[in-house]
Structure 1
Amino acid sequence: MTPAIPTTIFERMSRAAAAAGAINLGQGYPEMAEPAELIAAAVRGLREHSNQYPPMRGLPGLRQAVADYYAAHQGLSIDPAEVIVTSGATEALAAAILAIVRPGDEVICVQPLYDAYKPLVEWAGGRVVLVSLTPPDWSLPVDALEAAITPNTRAIILNTPNNPTGTMLSHAALSAVGDLCAGHDLTLICDEVWEAMVWEGAEHLSALTIPSLRDRMIKVGSAGKLFSLTGWKLGWVVAAPALAEQVAARHQFLTYTTPTPLQWAVADGLALPRDWHDAHRDRYVPGRRALVDGLRDGGYVVLDNAASWFVTIDLTASGIGLDDETFCTRLIPEAGVAAIPFSAFYAAAPETRYVRLCFAKEAPVIQTATARLAAFRAGLVG
């Protein structure tokens, strides 16, 4: 019998928030005006372009646009033939994992992690081996990563910028990963979907910039995250030709193609000038500042984050004796706010003193939420 698959924590918390009429700072989706340029481009796609099957690997114009975007924004040299368009980043991950993992293979996953990694590896017949980032700065323990490698290890899955921590791996850390992959003939699957949402002058460093990884890694990107259109479910992989062929072979039997008008729209969006992309990202700055400042004013200890739509609070350092799941479960009915416990991002031995909150909301919503959070903490700590 196939084992039961539980509903994700994100869906459960969102349902509970809706039922209680709570402010949802749990699930990572924006609640602000969608970019008019992308909506107009989608309308043009519907009216002026084909609505029939696109090529399985994606429209040539979109694959070129992805390559051009990475050249302009990250200094990467990518051939459009190395780009495969997918129906969201999760499908990209599924195609990548199915392309690499065979029954009996081991895959090292670094946690906290996106909750799809483990089931996807297991569905491919692999076994997940876990290595944890080290709080509170969430550094990558390279020694532990190396110690986890065995003769059965096939791949490593990384997430940078990381969700939920909002931290990014350094050049030194990525170079060390590259040395391990080259030395042990491993493939790296690098989930970089938050690459455009970086703060305070930080710059995303793609693992593709590491020479030892250029031909042995699969980069995963997301138009939904880049353009704040999470419901479009359009993503891509970038990989050297041999790996791209393997990913495409699996993609054709997963979703085969992605809606044609949205592909046209994303191609137009990627070609928008850098000033547009910077302004789109900076729409989140007021909400981010309001959340961080409001939490700190309310007595919470907020960890530094350089990327994503999320911030992290340390419950213990904030004087709160509850574990993260209890805190989040009580928060909805007692304070009218939804958040996500960090333990949901662990497959084993979870950290239980941290909570993730999303700032992709209008500032007044954030201000109301932080006032409620402050009152909730005051009630807990006396």
Structure 2
Amino acid sequence: MSAYSSTVRAMIEYLEPVLSFVSEGEAGDAALSAEASDLQFGNPQEMPLPEIQQALAKWAAPQNKDWFAYKFSDPKAIQVAVESLRKLTGIDFDPADVSMTTGAFGGLASTLRAVLDPGDEVIYLSPPWFFYVPMIISNGAKAIRVDFEPPKFELPVDAIEWHITARTRAIIINTPHNPSGRVFTPDELESLADVLHRTHHPVYLISDESYNRILYDGRKHESPVRYYDRSFLIYTYGKTLVAPGQRIGYIAMPPSMPDREELRTALFVAQSITGYAYPNALLQYAMGDLEKASVDVAALQRRRDRIVGALDAMGYETVKPEGTFYVLVRSPLEDDVAFTKLLAKENVYVLPGRLFELPRWFRISLTGNDDMVERALPGFERALDSVRLSKLS
């Protein structure tokens, strides 16, 4: 008999590339050295925004005996979310249809738990965020992969329609999309909505909008909730604040969502039993102040332009992101893991595409600071030169 469940075994098997990468130390001490350029994950590489510390300090002093009592969704935090959503989407969300979560992670896990039965199918776009598939598996459902092709990464509406079956319960999309940086257009979202309206049974659209404020070149975010009634909008402040260790976000259902009252109860119960997926009291009190803070998006765009311009000039093939923290680059070697090891020898640390279902590519995080970016560029050039020389020999 196994020491752990078959469900967890399936999740471990899927996450094997990530687990191996971490255990082999590529993300370890060497990447943290003063000489290294750690461009692997969306972690902060500069001091946190001062507004975060100020907000938490402001709200840490108890104002009554229940200040740190059990906390579900604080009404004042909900109102902040409702006002923010109105500005973002133009929709007047009912406060009863917004629930505070432990970031997008808690929001996604709770939403999937609320709507899935064992044997259901959930369509996701590949390359995905690491944990979509394990969260689907955890509910006894089947993850259905639809490839999202580089370098254009156009929303594959026809392929999604082809993969919809009588067992399809939900579709997860992510806009702006990690890792491609694509921001889906109104035409793409409308086409997807048309497909879903033609299905013969209800299909939920779960929209992960973690990066909806990280947009470049003046782009405007379009939320799928404006196009399709059965949509869940999931947001986290962790990206906007570059503070993934302070987990607060929300799930929101539009007023047009059918069966809203039943779903409210389902989400409440799902959040309560999914490791109590509500943010701590202090973060909820501070949310009005946190809503006003943001990473310097102009600095992220400047780094994007510097990296893409320099790597293109060297001879790399890059995908210029429209949003998010990330730049995708095609690996000069068939084995993207092997190439990231070459970069690691140059003290440049990036994420191999094998970890997110995109072999032959790697991902660079723009949350690395400016000094890291400048230190990394010669390393990128030397690694590429070494590949070229090896092909000549």
Structure 2 length-normalised TM: 0.87
Q: 1:29 to 1:322 in 2, by over 3 A?
A: same
The letter for the 1-side match of 2:170 is: A
SS at match of 1:102: coil
Q: What is the 5 A alignment of 1:337-352?
A: 337-346=348-357, 351-352=358-359
TM superposition shift of 1:293: 2.8
SS at match of 2:245: helix
> Which residue of 238, 258, 266 maps to 1:246?
266
Counterparts of 1:254 and 1:170, CA distance in 2: 33
1:113 corresponds to: 128
> Which residue of 334, 337, 344 maps to 1:322?
334
1:94 corresponds to: 109
Q: 1:254 to 1:173 in 2, by over 3 A?
A: same
Counterparts of 2:62 and 2:313, CA distance in 1: 52
Counterparts of 1:300 and 1:144, CA distance in 2: 29
> Which residue of 75, 87, 93 maps to 1:78?
93
Counterparts of 2:388 and 2:84, CA distance in 1: 49
TM superposition shift of 1:81: 1.6
Summarize deviations over 1:97-139 as a string: whole Å, max 9, x none. 0111101111111111112111111111111111111221011
Counterparts of 2:16 and 2:145, CA distance in 1: 22
Summarize deviations over 1:317-343 as a string: whole Å, max 9, x none. xxx2332222123322x2211111223
Q: 1:127 to 1:173 in 2, by over 3 A?
A: same
1:355 aligns with 2:355: no
Counterparts of 1:19 and 1:280, CA distance in 2: 27
2:217 corresponds to: 200
> Contact between 1:89 and 1:193, CA under 8 Å: does it hold in 2?
yes
Counterparts of 2:205 and 2:371, CA distance in 1: 41
1:189 aligns with 2:206: yes
> Which residue of 18, 21, 30 maps to 1:9?
18
TM superposition shift of 1:72: 2.1
Counterparts of 1:45 and 1:141, CA distance in 2: 45
2:80 corresponds to: 65
The letter for the 1-side match of 2:350 is: A
Q: Greater CA deviation, 75-84 or 236-245?
A: 236-245
1:365 aligns with 2:381: no
Summarize deviations over 1:360-380 as a string: whole Å, max 9, x none. 122111100112111111111
> Contact between 1:86 and 1:234, CA under 8 Å: does it hold in 2?
yes
> Contact between 2:71 and 2:280, CA under 8 Å: does it hold in 1?
no
Q: 1:73 to 1:105 in 2, by over 3 A?
A: closer
> Contact between 1:286 and 1:363, CA under 8 Å: does it hold in 2?
no
Counterparts of 1:321 and 1:105, CA distance in 2: 38
SS at match of 1:90: helix
SS at match of 1:252: helix
SS at match of 2:288: helix
Q: 1:156 to 1:73 in 2, by over 3 A?
A: closer
1:255 corresponds to: 275
Q: Greater CA deviation, 193-202 or 66-75?
A: 66-75
Q: Which runs of 5+ in 2 are unaligned?
A: 255-259
Q: 1:30 to 1:372 in 2, by over 3 A?
A: same
1:128 aligns with 2:143: yes
Q: 1:186 to 1:152 in 2, by over 3 A?
A: same
1:18 corresponds to: 28
Counterparts of 2:378 and 2:138, CA distance in 1: 44
Q: 1:294 to 1:17 in 2, by over 3 A?
A: farther
Summarize deviations over 1:11-46 as a string: whole Å, max 9, x none. 718942433244211111121232212221111111
1:290 corresponds to: 306
TM superposition shift of 1:218: 1.0
> Which residue of 228, 235, 245 maps to 1:221?
235
TM superposition shift of 1:296: 2.7
> Contact between 2:43 and 2:244, CA under 8 Å: does it hold in 1?
yes
The letter for the 1-side match of 2:286 is: A
TM superposition shift of 1:51: 4.3
Counterparts of 1:330 and 1:299, CA distance in 2: 17
SS at match of 2:170: strand
Counterparts of 1:14 and 1:34, CA distance in 2: 29
The letter for the 1-side match of 2:302 is: P
Q: Which runs of 5+ in 1 are unaligned?
A: none
Aligned residues: 364
The letter for the 2-side match of 1:200 is: D
Summarize deviations over 1:195-246 as a string: whole Å, max 9, x none. 0101111111111111xx23x1111100111211111011211114343432
Q: What is the 5 A alignment of 1:264-275?
A: 264-270=285-291, 272=292
> Contact between 2:304 and 2:320, CA under 8 Å: does it hold in 1?
no
Structure 1 length-normalised TM: 0.89
> Which residue of 155, 162, 175 maps to 1:147?
162
The letter for the 2-side match of 1:268 is: D
